[in-house]
A = this chain, B = another copy of it.
Amino acid sequence: MPEDVSLATVAARAGVSVSTVSRIVNGEMRRASPATVARVLEAVEAVGYRPNPVGRALKRGQSQLVAMIAANLDNPAMATIASSTEAALREAGYVMVLCDTHDRPELQDEYLEAMRAQMVSGYVLVAAVPSPGLSELSASRAPAVFVNRRNPGGSGAFVGIDDRAAGATVADYFIDRGRRALAVVFPRLGSSASRDRASGFLARLRERGWADEAIIQAAGDGRSHLQIGYDAGSRIFVGSDAPDAILSVSDQIAYGLNRRALECGLKIPDDCELVSIDGTPLNQWVAPWLKSIEIPYALYGAEIVAGLQLIWRGAPFGERLLPCKFG
- Contact: B99 with A97, CB < 8 Å? yes
Q: Which of A75-83, A213-221, A305-313 contacts B (4 or more CB under 8 A)?
A: A75-83
- Contact: A111 with B83, CB < 8 Å? no
- Contact: B288 with A259, CB < 8 Å? yes
Judge whether A322 is part of the interface by a CB distance below 8 angstroms.
Answer: no
A237–B317 CA distance with the chains assembled, in angstroms: 52
A86 to chain B, nearest CB (A): 6
- Contact: A117 with B285, CB < 8 Å? no
Judge whether A114 is part of the interface by a CB distance below 8 angstroms.
Answer: yes
A259–B283 CA distance with the chains assembled, in angstroms: 11
How many identical subunits does the complex contain? 2
- Closest B residue by C-beta to A283: B286
A104 to chain B, nearest CB (A): 11
Q: Give A94-112 interface residues, CB cut-off 8 Å to B.
A: 95-100, 102, 107, 110-111
- Closest B residue by C-beta to A284: B259
Q: Give A45-83 interface residues, CB cut-off 8 Å to B.
A: 52-55, 57-58, 63-65, 67, 73-74, 76, 79-80, 82-83
Judge whether A5 is part of the interface by a CB distance below 8 angstroms.
Answer: no
- Contact: A286 with B287, CB < 8 Å? yes
- Closest B residue by C-beta to A286: B286
Known contacts A79-B73, A285-B259; is A95 also within 8 Å of B119 by CB? no
Interface string of A262-279 (1 = CB under 8 A from B): 100000000000000000
A299–B28 CA distance with the chains assembled, in angstroms: 50
Known contacts A100-B86, A111-B95; is A118 also within 8 Å of B73 by CB? no
- Contact: B98 with A54, CB < 8 Å? no
Q: Give A125-181 interface residues, CB cut-off 8 Å to B.
A: none
A interface majority secondary structure: helix
A284–B287 CA distance with the chains assembled, in angstroms: 13
Judge whether A235 is part of the interface by a CB distance below 8 angstroms.
Answer: no
Judge whether A90 is part of the interface by a CB distance below 8 angstroms.
Answer: yes
A124–B254 CA distance with the chains assembled, in angstroms: 34
Q: Give A223-261 interface residues, CB cut-off 8 Å to B.
A: 226, 230, 255-256, 259
- Choose among B82, B95, B288 the residue that contacts A73 (Cβ–Cβ < 8 A): B82
A110–B95 CA distance with the chains assembled, in angstroms: 8
- Contact: B53 with A117, CB < 8 Å? yes
- New contact pairs (16) apart from A74-B76, A90-B110, A286-B287, CB-CB < 8 Å: A52-B58, A53-B118, A54-B54, A54-B57, A54-B117, A54-B119, A55-B58, A65-B114, A73-B83, A74-B79, A74-B80, A74-B83, A95-B99, A96-B99, A259-B286, A282-B286
Which A-B residue pairs are the 6 nearest by beta carbons? A74-B79, A98-B98, A53-B117, A97-B97, A286-B286, A95-B114
Interface residues of A (CB under 8 A from B): 52-55, 57-58, 63-65, 67, 73-74, 76, 79-80, 82-83, 86, 90, 95-100, 102, 107, 110-111, 114, 117-119, 226, 230, 255-256, 259, 262, 282, 284-288
